[in-house]
Amino acid sequence: MEITHIGGPTAVLNLGGLTFLIDPAFDEPRDYQLPGRVMTKLIGPAIPADKLGPIDVALVSHDEHKDNLDDAGRALLATIPTVLSTPGAATRIDGVRGLENWESIDLRRPDGGVITVTGVPALHGPEGAEKVLGVVTGFVLQGEGLPTVYVAGDNASLGLVKEIADRFAPIDVAVLFAGAARTGLLDGANLTLTSADAVEAARLLGSATIVPVHTEGWAHFTEGPDQLVAAFREAGLEKRVKVLEHGVPTTVD
């Protein structure tokens, strides 16, 4: 598989002849005025939306937060043949197919095979976070002769990582949303994995290559790529993590 990190959570993943777009966020840096708070985007996309080329499938972990689906990303969805997200997103955005936890859909590959995409649970913060931040989904991609890929979405629960790792073992590549996001909501709790959490997730995921995203580009992220790599180095797992250069297609195995 090949993956290109656009910035934040946004990445293009080529697998089995299909091109997937993860959490499209393509606005330029700006402040988003939200009820009672401001979200600040610091870095624009490494590749503009109109330079991406054809996208077959969008994987949207949730539609309610600007750092995972912003205005430009939302407009782009109308041009993508298949958009997968949460059941709630399917009620809010035309053309979205919502996946319940553990529900699967088969996507035809150009070579005649299929890639099976399964929606998997994610928790955007501590227990009870759904009531404040909404429902989030992750995705697992599988196909004959292809690596099994776990796209975690904005998940902060190691318990869910273990459940997914056990159910789909062996997972070959895990795209983990890290960065220790904090917004002041939920008493300042971490809303995504910390660097230490990402290390523990790597242990739970066996020998999977860890591709971190969503560790930079927004003011509410408190731990960047350097801290994550340092945590993996301290744990003796530095060879397991692959930090991507923005805009550069990278083969991951």
Q: What is the pLDDT of residue 40?
A: 94
Q: What is the pLDDT of residue 41?
A: 94
Q: What is the pLDDT of residue 227?
A: 96
Rounded to whole angstroms, how far apart are CA atoms 53 and 26? 14
pLDDT averaged over 10-residue windows placed end to end, the chain, 253 residues: 96 98 97 83 96 97 92 96 97 97 97 96 81 87 97 95 98 96 76 94 98 92 94 97 96 90
Domain spans of the chain, in order of start = 2-244
Q: What is the pLDDT of residue 126?
A: 67
Fold classified for 2-244: Metallo-beta-lactamase; Chain A (3.60.15)
Q: What is the pLDDT of residue 243?
A: 95
* Pick from 219, 207, 200, 212: nearest CA to 157: 200
Three-state DSSP class for residue 30: strand
DSSP type of residue 240: G
